[in-house]
Amino acid sequence: MSNDGSESLAPAPNMFSKSTIKTIKGGTFVAAEQYLHYNIQAKEHHAALKILRKRVALGAFHDAAERFDPPKCYPHTREAILKKIMAWVNQRPEDLSLFFLWVYGPAGAGKSAIAQTIAELCVEAKLLAASFFFSRTAAGRNDNSRLVATLTWQLMQSIPEIREHVLALLERDPTVVDRAPATQMKTLIVDPLNMVSKEVLNQRPRFIIIDGLDECVDRQSQEDIIKFLAQSTRQLASPIHFLIASRPELEIRDTFSSDVLRPITHTLPLEHDYQSNEDIRHFLTSKFRELRTKRPHLPQSWPPREDIDALVEKSSGQFIYAATVIRYIESRRHQPEDRLKTVVDLRSSQTETPFAALDALYLQIFSSVDNDQIDNVLKVLGALILIKKYKVDILASLEELFGYRSGQLEAIMGDMVALVEIPTSQWLPVKIYHASLPDFLLDPSRSRTFFLDPPRAYANLALQCLRFDRERWDHRHLARAIECIAKSTPTRELVTTLLCFNPWQMAGDPEFRYKISTQGPVFLEWLEAQKSSNTQCFDLRNVQFRHFDKWALECLREMPQKYQALLPAAIRLYSSLFDSQSLTETGVNADIDILLPITHKVHRSYLTVWFSHHWNDVPPPFHYLSDLLSDPSRAAEFLVTERHFTNFALHCAKLAFREIPFQETADLANDAESTVLKCLCLSLSRSAKSSELIQFLRHHAFHPGPPNDNIPAEREEMITATLKYIKVSSNLPQHFMLIVPLTH
């Protein structure tokens, strides 16, 4: 025994002469009769694990704490479906020809409950390799950005032979997790699995569950996910098979019906019977039996058989209806007999829809809420549905948002217990039981007077955010408030409140500075869109733009004197450059680093957000700055004139011809040269005549050398712009005709 408590390593002949060795630190023994294999883990790969861990959506696991008490099939129900799925899962790899099982059905059909139950059965049988449960309201689980990393993390546990390959690859190239999901799938899953022998893989689980694919909010991503999973089955030497559960959305249905997917997909529609009526009857009978035990006054003959028959018929195969009915009847504040009679007596609309009975039940539950509380109930539900990503669903956060005392929200939502779960702890989330409730509330034809109109709901939420104690605000409160404002209708109350709101005042803190720089354009765009609504909105727009002007000018005054003279022209030019070139966020940031290599952390933070573009359909910040700097009534000392463009043109020319050195890597050299030359051309067209600039260009522009010969189009454009600027057609250097066509 060594000093550290591990067993000493004896010489190989003695060590392998017996199969009774207990443990050895740093390695793993696998015994098979008289043979032992020792696998030494040379590295722990801490850095690679950290990289991968950051991209894992832990809440997407089938047993995640975030999904505590997930829906699952009630005992002795859905047995026919579960048996059919498990028979497919248990196929031998060599017999597998259908790699996908698509389980689909409408909201309330029990897809997630089936997926969860299958996951638990497969874990028990050691058949589950990985799972991912999407959720449209949970960040990290409502898009495809974390899907592959999450599956990879689980596969490293269920198929440990791939662990070394995956982590070594991540250490060599940490950017893999930033690639497209299809690339990640090939690199992190397919390639490592293909390095493991078939004999070993045949002893490992290779079944993956993906639930709620329709809750991936980007519809194109839904299609992409299916396609790159299908591609992986063709690339794998020993394939994985997938259960995918979703609503039958158009993109998903069309993809599974394509020539590529149809031959390898088995479909299982849940709208067909599969004994669902009998399963629902069993569920209702069992739950009523439990209720009679809790309420001794209820007779054993209750409820009458005809009432159960009526509930089964109203369910139309939807377990969500039956589950909601039970929660409604179980309310401690009411008599079960009265609640059951209310449900049985409900009449749905004459025009039957797939959700007619469920809608009638929902309407009854909302109608039972006190008139003085229904607005509060809808506001709370609006927060849970529309801004859950800001963690407002935590009970304490929700009460804080609405200014409720501890315990007050539970009283307000007392009549909602059939639809919403209120936790016993302040630090647990308030949960809407099923996705069919948001569907109902957001559809005016179904929810009628209880319709949750998103623009008005966002306006109410914006007011709640703005009324929150500003002394306790952090950058997340600001982001939440502006997102709500940007999606709201300008109600009189909201506009009045915003007249006293100055988000730019908060920019002293670095976190606030970044948030206001990124969220501010969203706010300004909303103000521009609303200014013609009425006089009050027009006044609000002017007030807020004055706040913006003051903040932007103060930022410019913080800059070093050298850059104060260059930045205004750079901002004005970049507005034109962006329009003509459609530069990406990365390109803009990289380019401005070349043009204005500012090193001060705070000053760089301004540049990073001013010259970026990552808002869908919202102009980037430099557009608003450009408008400011071109307006004599707003720009103060930073009004851009020909003098600014002249100075900037000389700066760009010195960069282009290496009078001022700039850093560029080999792969970005052409981009850097191109950016500098484009800015030089744009600034020359706006510059005043300057003898210094003319002399510099005469000396450099017409000589071979830098700029890079790999970008001849930009070189020629630069020379043309130079000729136009200095207005010279003779006395040029002798070799000029070799550089540009005679027509110049």
Q: Is 244 helix (H, G, I), strand (E, B) or coil?
A: strand
- pLDDT score of 589 more than 70: no
d(CA 427, CA 395): 6
Q: Encode pLDDT of 669-705 as tens digits.
A: 456 777 788 889 989 989 988 889 998 988 888 776 6
**Domains located in the chain, CATH noted:** 1-41 (no CATH), 47-269 (3.40.50.300), 276-364 (no CATH), 374-511 (no CATH)
Q: By the 8 A CB rule, do 467 and 404 touch?
A: no
| Pick from 319-328, 450-459, 541-550, 613-622: least confident | 613-622
d(CA 507, CA 251): 43
d(CA 240, CA 230): 10
Amino acid letter for position 659: E
Average pLDDT of the residues in 19-31: 37
Q: Encode pLDDT of 63-81 as tens digits.
A: 999 888 899 999 999 999 9
d(CA 316, CA 160): 45
Please spell the DSSP secondary structure of 483-511, one letter per residue: HHHHTS---HHHHHHHTT--GGGGGGSHH
Q: How confident is the model at residue 17 (pLDDT cuts 50, 70, 90)?
A: very low
Average pLDDT of the residues in 443-451: 95
- pLDDT score of 19 more than 80: no
Other C-beta atoms within 10 Å of 282: how many?
A: 17
Q: pTM of the full predicted structure?
A: 0.70
- pLDDT score of 470 more than 70: no
Angle at the Cα of 398 from the Cα atoms of 396 and 400, rounded to 5 degrees: 70
- In 3D space, the residue among 118, 61, 117 whose CA is nearest the CA of residue 88 turns out to be 118
For 672, left (φ over 0), alpha (ψ -120 to 50), or beta?
A: alpha
Q: By the 8 A CB rule, do 169 and 176 touch?
A: yes
Would you state the pLDDT for residue 563? 83
For 239, left (φ over 0), alpha (ψ -120 to 50), or beta?
A: beta
Other C-beta atoms within 10 Å of 381: how many?
A: 23
Most confident of the ranges 127-131, 392-396, 520-524:
127-131
How does the average pLDDT of the chain come out, rounded? 83
